């Protein structure tokens, strides 16, 4: 029974039945599509989650930074109001000193508070551990009758006096400091750009505000300032949990790194002066790559109006990043946060790999089944393909009958075999016909060419030599066999236009007059008219040669005065071959040149009369040319 079914399948199996097996392939495609869709969707969701986390972290960092800096505005504003109403005054430096101490104690992020008057008086309280842990130092400058006194007073953390001394060498003048000048210029509360504090060598900013007297004219009393070290922002960034390996940094509009988890990377020494590192130069390749992903034009000022998400690759690791500008105009800073994609996609990728392995196993089993079935189906089709390619190459031998159990393919193979037999028979008939046509065409062409040559009896064998030279030059230029064969047969027709030139001009032994020379120059056009509307590729090439073999590389030839590569290649080749053999042959108007002299003349005319590449090709084969002239071929040998 089974054997009978098998035999029936071998006899009658239809391609339509094989399509049922395609379900297996469809199953594999379906599973793969679902997995790919799930992978893409899940990845997008997780990346979106990463963006949301980074967005939240950036908002938190900006809020923390703002909360860190804003008390300085409140302190400066409060000091301004108290000074306006003489609650604290430069005339009572002790009360002002005490007030500044209380502010520093209240706000640990403040490093110093000070007040400078318009006449140069100055009260400054700052943190100083020189004589006491968590201590303070007061600097008071008084100017009376142009006499300056500077008193330095150190206190402990409870404001108890520790030591004091006079500084007779101090040259500090608050009125010359940027914070003082900027506050007076804008007549309002202002922030300086971040800079490295001289005393602590830590990054910081200063807020300052002018103080006006409460009198009628509201005259200037002085300027109050607050110094804030922003290194604690770096400490905060270092404590942020951004995925598993994420990080953050803050830059200003000049690209200076104001905060970084590694505070040592913020500063650099520049001519013994400590400055901020630029984000483009910081010793953190990932941070540099993150900044480059913003694709901001390189300049001295970087402006980011809105939040921007980016992605980049560093050391073959993909990262997601977000850059958010501070919304407060007084702090034109940008916070950048980046996190490796694997921090969110790592577990997903591992699970996806597991699914891929499972899908591969299923696909392997399905593919094995499909392969077994498709092999028996495809073998005869492949054999048909081999036979088709063999027939394309003219191979009628490798077309053996195809054996197949599939009815449709078997019918196709039988029809193909019958078609092959018919094609083989027709091909043989066409080959015979083409051979006859070619022989007749070549015979006609050469008889026509000889008719033109016979008008100049002394040019014996010129056509054969010139044809051999054109084929040699074409071959040396790298042209294929077909081209070389075409030009070999087409070149002898170059002077058929001489049929239209009167004999008394062609055979004249003396110098031609102007009218006779103009008549000679018409033979290319006459020859082209003889081959007008060419019907074959070879006749078309012959017509091009006839028209252009008297053109010169420098444009001073005839009949059209073409120059350089505007002259068809076959015309340039024949111009050299014709001139070479003319110089080497005896004519009615001259004696033959020695071959050495001919080669010399060709070299002299390289780049003027002749195409330099054609000349080089001829010279590279000088030995073959000399052999050609020592064993001259006859015209019959070309045909």
Same domain, 508 and 549: yes
Provide the percentage of residues in the chain whose pLDDT is more than 70: 71
**Within this chain, do residues 574 and 612 fall inside the same structural domain, yes or no?**
yes
129 and 237, same domain (yes or no): no
For the four alpha carbons of 445, 448, 454 and 458, in that order, the dihedral sign comes to: negative
Would 219 be classed as within a structural domain? yes
CB 115 within 8 A of CB 222: yes
Residue 317 backbone phi and psi in degrees, to 5: -115, 130
Q: If we measure between CA atoms, which residue out of 355, 360, 358, 312 comes closest to residue 337? A: 312
- Say if residue 634's pLDDT is above 50: no
Q: What is the bridge-based pairing of β-strands 273-276 and 122-127?
A: unpaired
- Tell which wins on pLDDT, 496 or 409: 496
> What does the block give as tokens for 254?
């000049």
| Same domain, residue pair 511 and 615 | yes
Q: What is the CATH number of the domain that holds 115?
A: 3.30.450.20
Residue with tokens 């390289």: 606
Q: CA 155 to CA 162: how far, in whole Å?
A: 5
Let me know if residue 290 belongs to a domain: yes
DSSP states of 219-275? -EEEEEEEEEE-HHHHHHHHH---TTT-EEEEEETT-BEEE-SSGGGTEEEETTEEE
Residue 361 vs residue 398, higher pLDDT:
361
Helix (H) or strand (E) holding 138: strand 136-144
Asked whether 249 and 61 are in contact (CB, 8 A), the reply is no
Query: Residue 323 has what pLDDT?
Result: 92
Instruction: Name the H helices within 397-531.
Output: 407-453, 462-476, 481-490, 503-506, 514-520, 523-530
pLDDT for 459 beyond 60: no
Q: What's residue 607's pLDDT?
A: 94
In this structure, is the dihedral angle defined by the CA atoms of residues 351, 356, 359 and 365, taken in order, positive or negative? negative
CA separation (Å) from 395 to 386, 387, 430, 433? 11, 9, 15, 19
Q: Quickly list DSSP for 21-75.
A: GHHHHHHHHHHHHHHHHHHHHHHHHHHHHHHHHHHHHHHHHHHHHHHHHHHHHHH
Residue 552: phi, psi to the nearest 5? -115, 150
CB 524 within 8 Å of CB 549 = yes
Read off the pLDDT of residues 167-201 as tens digits, 9 standing for 90 and up: 988 889 999 998 999 988 998 888 888 888 877 78
CA 525 – CA 533 distance, rounded (Å):
14
Shared domain check, 239 and 222: no
Instruction: Please indicate, yes or no, whether residues 481 and 513 belong to a single structural domain of this protein.
Output: yes
- Look up tokens 């939040």; give the residue: 307
Q: Which domain holds residue 97?
A: 84-229
Instruction: Tell me whether residue 390 is in a domain.
Output: no
Whether 441 is covered by a domain: the verdict is no
Classify strands 203-212 and 110-117 as parallel, antiparallel or unpaired: unpaired
- Identify whether 266 is part of a domain: yes
Dihedral pair phi/psi, residue 566, rounded to 5°: -65, -20
**Average pLDDT for 54-68:** 79
What is the dihedral sign for C-alpha 272, 277, 282, 284?
A: positive
Identify the residue whose tokens are 């970087």. Answer: 302
Lowest mean per-residue pLDDT among 206-215, 278-287, 605-614: 206-215
Specify the number of domains making up the chain.
Answer: 3
Look at 428-442, 483-497, 551-565 and tell me which has the smallest mean pLDDT. 428-442
Contact 565, 594 (CB under 8 A): no
* Cβ-proximal residues to 601 (8 Å cutoff; 6+ apart), any chain: 583, 593
Q: Over range 322-328, report the average pLDDT.
A: 87
Residue 311's domain is classified under what CATH number?
3.30.450
What whole-number distance in Å separates Cα of residue 372 and Cα of residue 378?
10
Separation of alpha carbons 310 and 297, rounded Å? 15
Per-residue pLDDT tens digits for 532-589: 888 888 889 999 999 999 999 999 999 999 999 999 999 999 999 999 998 988 776 6
- What is the band of 633 on the pLDDT scale with cuts at 50, 70, 90? very low
pLDDT for the residue 16: 47
Same domain, 164 and 98: yes
- Domain end (from 340, 360, 389): 340
If one counts every other C-beta atom within 10 angstroms of the C-beta of residue 506, the result is 18
335 beta partners: 250, 324
- The answer on 306 and 211 residing in a single domain is no
Q: Could you tell me the two tokens for 629? A: 């002239």
Start-to-end Cα distance in the chain: 72
Element (H, E) at 159: none
Token representation of residue 5 = 């079914």
Give the Cα separation of 223 and 211 in Å (integer).
5
Q: What residues contact 294, with CB distance under 8 A and at least 6 apart?
A: 304, 308, 310, 323
The dihedral built from the CA positions of residue 362, 365, 370 and 371, taken in this order, carries a sign that is positive
Give how far Cα 599 sits from Cα of 569, 580, 605, 632, Å.
Answer: 21, 8, 10, 18
**Where among 307, 340, 373 does a domain terminate?**
340
Question: Do residues 322 and 240 both lie within one domain?
Answer: yes
Is it the case that residue 451 has pLDDT exceeding 50? yes
- Last-in-domain residue among 182, 202, 229: 229
Q: What is the dihedral of CA 379, 385, 389, 391, to 10 degrees?
A: 100
The structure tokens 């409870």 sit at 158
Range with the lowest mean pLDDT among 211-225, 308-322, 401-415, 442-456?
442-456
**Percent of the chain with pLDDT strictly greater than 90:** 28
> Tell me, what CATH number does 549's domain have?
1.10.3210.10
Q: Contact 563/554 with Cβ under 8 angstroms? A: yes
On whether residue 597 sits in a domain, the answer given is yes
Strands 203-212 and 122-127: unpaired
Side-chain half-sphere exposure of 54, counting CA atoms within 13 A: 32
Residue 531 within any structural domain of the chain: yes
pLDDT reading at 394 higher than 70: no
Which of residues 439 and 118 earns the better pLDDT score?
A: 118
Q: Position of tokens 């804008």?
A: 186
Examine residue 479 and state whether it is found in any structural domain, yes or no.
Answer: yes
pLDDT score recorded for residue 399: 59
Based on the domain organization, do 173 and 247 belong to the same domain? no
266 and 220 share one domain: no
Q: Are 100 and 245 in the same domain?
A: no
Tell me how far apart the alpha carbons of residues 77 and 377 are, in angstroms, rounded to a whole number.
90
């Amino acid at each position: 029974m089974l054997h009978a079914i098998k035999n029936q399948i071998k006899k009658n199996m239809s391609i339509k039945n094989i399509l049922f097996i395609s379900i297996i392939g469809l199953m594999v495609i379906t599973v793969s599509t679902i997995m790919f869709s799930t992978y893409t969707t899940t990845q997008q969701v997780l990346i979106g989650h990463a963006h949301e986390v980074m967005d939240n972290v950036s908002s938190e960092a900006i809020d923390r930074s703002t909360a860190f800096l804003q008390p300085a505005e409140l302190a400066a504003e409060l000091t301004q109001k108290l000074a306006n109403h003489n609650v604290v005054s430069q005339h009572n430096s002790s009360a002002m000193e005490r007030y500044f101490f209380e502010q520093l104690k209240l706000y640990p992020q403040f490093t110093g508070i000070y007040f400078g008057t318009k006449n140069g008086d100055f009260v400054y309280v700052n943190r100083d551990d020189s004589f006491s842990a968590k201590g303070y130092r007061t600097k008071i400058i008084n100017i009376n009758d142009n006499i300056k006194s500077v008193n330095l007073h150190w206190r402990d953390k409870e404001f108890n006096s520790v030591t004091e001394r006079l500084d007779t060498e101090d040259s500090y003048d608050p009125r010359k400091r940027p914070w003082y000048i900027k506050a007076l210029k804008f007549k309002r509360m202002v922030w300086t750009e971040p800079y490295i504090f001289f005393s602590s060598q830590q990054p910081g900013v200063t807020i300052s505000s002018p103080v006006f007297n409460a009198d009628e004219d509201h005259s200037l009393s002085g300027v109050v300032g607050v110094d804030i070290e922003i290194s604690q922002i770096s400490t905060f960034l270092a404590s942020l949990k951004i995925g598993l390996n994420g990080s953050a940094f803050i830059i200003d509009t000049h690209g200076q790194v104001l905060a970084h988890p590694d505070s040592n990377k913020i500063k650099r020494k520049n001519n013994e002066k400590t400055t901020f590192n630029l984000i483009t130069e910081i010793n953190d390749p990932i941070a540099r790559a993150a900044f480059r992903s913003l694709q901001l034009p390189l300049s001295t000022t970087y402006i980011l109006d809105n939040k921007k998400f980016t992605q980049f690759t560093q050391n073959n690791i993909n990262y997601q990043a977000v850059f958010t500008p501070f919304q407060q105009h007084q702090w034109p800073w940008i916070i950048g946060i980046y996190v490796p994609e694997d921090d969110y996609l790592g577990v997903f990728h591992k699970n996806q790999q597991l699914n891929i392995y499972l899908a591969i196993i299923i696909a392997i089993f399905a593919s094995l089944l499909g392969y077994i079935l498709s092999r028996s189906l495809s073998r005869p089709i492949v054999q048909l393909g081999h036979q088709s390619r063999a027939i394309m190459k003219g191979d009628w031998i490798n077309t053996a009958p195809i054996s197949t159990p599939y009815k449709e393919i078997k019918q196709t193979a039988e029809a193909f075999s019958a078609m092959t037999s018919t094609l083989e028979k027709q091909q043989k008939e066409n080959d015979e016909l083409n051979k006859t046509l070619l022989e007749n065409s070549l015979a006609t062409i050469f008889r026509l060419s000889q008719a033109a040559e016979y008008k100049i009896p002394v040019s014996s064998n010129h056509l054969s030599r010139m044809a051999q030279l054109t084929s040699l030059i074409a071959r040396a230029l790298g042209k294929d066999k077909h081209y070389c064969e075409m030009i070999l047969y087409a070149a002898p027709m170059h002077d058929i236009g001489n049929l239209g030139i009167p004999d008394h001009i062609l055979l004249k032994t003396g110098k031609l007059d102007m009218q006779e020379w103009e008549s000679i120059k018409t033979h290319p056009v006459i020859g082209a008219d003889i081959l007008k509307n060419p019907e074959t590729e070879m006749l078309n090439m012959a017509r091009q040669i006839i028209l252009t073999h008297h053109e010169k590389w420098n444009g001073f030839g005839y009949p059209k005065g073409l120059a350089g590569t505007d002259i068809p290649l076959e015309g340039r080749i024949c111009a050299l071959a014709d001139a070479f053999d003319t110089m080497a042959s005896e004519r009615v108007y001259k004696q033959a040149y020695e071959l050495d002299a001919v080669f010399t003349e060709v070299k002299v005319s390289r780049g003027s009369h002749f195409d330099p590449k054609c000349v080089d090709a001829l010279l590279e084969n000088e030995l073959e040319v000399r052999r050609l002239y020592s064993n001259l071929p006859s015209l019959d040998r070309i045909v």
